[in-house]
Amino acid sequence: MTVFARSFSKRIAAAAVLALAAAAAGAADKVKVGFVSTLSGPSSALGVDIRDGFQLAVKLNGGKLGGLPAEVLVNDDQFKPDVARGLFERLVKRDKVDFMTGVVFSNIMLAALPEAIDNKVIYISPNAAPSSIAGKDCNPRFFAVSWPNDAYHEAAGAFANQRDLKSVYLLAPNYQAGKDSLAGFKRTFKGQVIGENYTKLGQLDYAAELAEIRAAKPQALYIFLPGGMGINFIKQFVGAGLGKDMMLLLPGFSADQDVIGPVGQAMAGLFNTAHWSPDLPNAANQKFVAEFQKEYKRMPTLYASQGYDAAQLINAAVRDVKGKLDDQEAVRKALRAARFDSVRGPFKFNKNQYPIQNYYVRNVGSDGKGGLVNKSFSEPILKDHGDAYVQACNMPQ
């Protein structure tokens, strides 16, 4: 061969190798998401709503996330941390998912999270966002697309101040999120806390606690009891005749559609705080609420809005890295940028990958059709609010 021909064929070979390398190293052919949540038991409505919100977003994106066909592997953790752990291990090691998401409860999430992050898989939390990993133990593979655990309760404390409440009794389940909730309320509340009690997570009979609350005679009672716990508590609270003795103040977790349905009219007029409300006026939310009602024939809860936003966040990130999921650093940067239209309005991540956002006061009122729905006050009670732990986080930015 001539010299020219040899160098030419070398260049062709080099180009071919580069092209193959680019094809192999870059774009994946689909996005695999492992979804583990509480889909059975008294608090299943929460997991079911997160799942339905997530899957609705995928459907509205044409079954794709970031332009790639999406495969969402849905599993039930049965409200058991060890079951969740096993599911995470299976999804990460055997099914080799690209993202993990879904868990409702902080204790379950904290038990299972190491299986994801120790195996280099990013976890996007559509609910649990405990304070224990918001500060010095923050992790670059953990993203909270919901809120910091303390936030709703800090908002409620601020609202209690606005209402000039002097004495409050506090009640929450005895797990990380319960601890975070009452710590959050106490952080902002300026009145007197005359009682602080923790119940067993999953407890359903509150006779003993209600007797103590009755004896303490507070001006107001603030509880954090999500899911089936809240439903049972509020029913028993009303059944014990305590509604006449004190004001009941709630975080959005105990006053959304999943509680309103089973409890009924007793919920009318109750104040609660949240980062989202079905009547928020932005375009993304109006579309979400309409589509959710059309698809599932019920009003979405804040849990559904979080599942929906989680999928939209992943969608935006995958789109921004053009499907090259192998470069995890790029995926992380794209997630942090959060270039998507959240149904809650303005959204951005803090240094610790927990949200900075507004929180609103909501009131349970008539929906005009004989039912009840949450209506928000337009002026947020907390604006552009982060969390109290971010200063201790030393994550590479």
Partner 1 sequence: MTPRRIVLLAVAALAIALPWLLQALGADFYLSMASRIVVYGIAATALNLLLGYGGMVSLGQAAYFGLGAYVSGVLLTEGMQGALPHLAATVVICGLVALAIGAISLRTRGVYFIMITLAFAQMLFYLANSIKGYGGDEGLTVRSRVQLPLGLDLRDAETFYWVALAVLALVLWGLSRFVGSRLGQAVQALRDDEVRAEALGLPTFRVRLLVFVVAGVIGGVAGALNVNLQGYVSPASLHWTQSGTLLVMVILGGAGSLWGGVLGAAALLLLQEGLLAYTEHGEFWTGWVLLAVVLFARQGLAGIAPALKRRLARGGTAP
Partner 2 sequence: MTGLLLVEQALNGAQFGLMLFLLAAGLTIVFGVMDMINLAHGSLYMVGAFLAAWITMQTGSFWVGLAGSVLLTAAIGMLIEATLLRTLYARDHLSQVLATFALILILNDGIKMLFGTDLPLSAPAALEGPVELPGGLRYPLWRLLIIGVGLAVAVGLYLLVQKTRVGALVRAGAANREMSMAMGVNVARLFTLVFGLGAALCAVAGALLGPLLAVQVGMGENILILAFVVIVIGGIGSIRGALIGSLLVGAVDTLGRTLLQSALREALPPQWASAAGPALASVAVYVLMAAVLVWRPQGLFPVRGG
Which residues lie near partner 1 (CB under 8 A)?
Answer: 80-82, 85, 89-90, 93-94, 107, 110-111, 114, 174-176, 200-201
Residue of 305, 290, 299 whose CA lies nearest to 360: 305
Judged by beta carbon, residue 155 or residue 201, the one nearer partner 1 is 201
Query: Could you say whether residue 370 binds partner 2 (CB under 8 A)?
Result: no
Residue of 170, 223, 159, 163 whose CA lies nearest to 359: 159
Sign of dihedral through CA atoms 274, 84, 45, 101? positive
How many degrees, rounded to 5, is the angle at CA 236 between CA 190 and CA 175?
55
Query: Could you say whether residue 262 binds partner 2 (CB under 8 A)?
Result: yes
We find the least distance from the C-beta atom of residue 293 to partner 1, in angstroms, to be 29
Cα(181)–Cα(293) distance, integer angstroms: 30
Residue of 202, 171, 233 whose CA lies nearest to 79: 202
How distant, in Å, are the alpha carbons of 93, 140, 319 from that of 121? 10, 10, 18
Q: Which does 110 bind (CB under 5 to 8 A by kind): partner 1, partner 2, none?
A: partner 1
Cα(337)–Cα(131) distance, integer angstroms: 22
Q: Which amino acid is at 224?
A: F
Residue 73 near residue 130 (C-beta atoms within 8 A): no
Q: Which does 82 bind (CB under 5 to 8 A by kind): partner 2, partner 1, none?
A: partner 1
Q: Which does 212 bind (CB under 5 to 8 A by kind): partner 2, partner 1, none?
A: partner 2
Query: Could you say whether residue 5 binds partner 2 (CB under 8 A)?
Result: no
Query: Could you say whether residue 59 binds partner 2 (CB under 8 A)?
Result: no
Query: Could you say whether residue 81 binds partner 2 (CB under 8 A)?
Result: no
Q: In the stretch 121-160, what mask flags binding to partner 2 with x, by CB under 8 A?
A: ----------------------------------------
Q: How far is CA 100 from the centre of its chain?
A: 13
Residue of 310, 343, 266, 376 whose CA lies nearest to 124: 310
Judged by beta carbon, residue 88 or residue 233, the one nearer partner 2 is 233
We find the least distance from the C-beta atom of residue 111 to partner 1, in angstroms, to be 5
Q: In the stretch 182-221, what mask flags binding to partner 2 with x, by CB under 8 A?
A: --------------xxxxx---xx-xx--xx-xx------
Classify residue 2 by its DSSP letter: -
Count CB neighbours of 332 within 10 A: 18
Judged by beta carbon, residue 58 or residue 201, the one nearer partner 1 is 201
Q: How does DSSP assign 197-211, residue by residue?
A: EEEPTT----HHHHH
We find the least distance from the C-beta atom of residue 265 to partner 2, in angstroms, to be 10
Cα(225)–Cα(178) distance, integer angstroms: 8
Q: Which does 197 bind (CB under 5 to 8 A by kind): partner 2, partner 1, none?
A: partner 2
Residue 140 near residue 117 (C-beta atoms within 8 A): no
Q: List the one residue from 63, 69, 114, 239 that touches partner 2 (CB under 8 A).
A: 239
We find the least distance from the C-beta atom of residue 304 to partner 1, in angstroms, to be 24
We find the least distance from the C-beta atom of residue 142 to partner 1, in angstroms, to be 14
We find the least distance from the C-beta atom of residue 171 to partner 2, in angstroms, to be 10
Q: Which does 215 bind (CB under 5 to 8 A by kind): partner 1, partner 2, none?
A: partner 2
- Residues written for the chain: 397
Q: Which residues of the shown chain bind partner 2 in the complex (CB under 8 A)? A: 40-42, 44, 174, 178-179, 196-200, 204-205, 207-208, 211-212, 214-215, 228, 232, 235-236, 238-242, 262
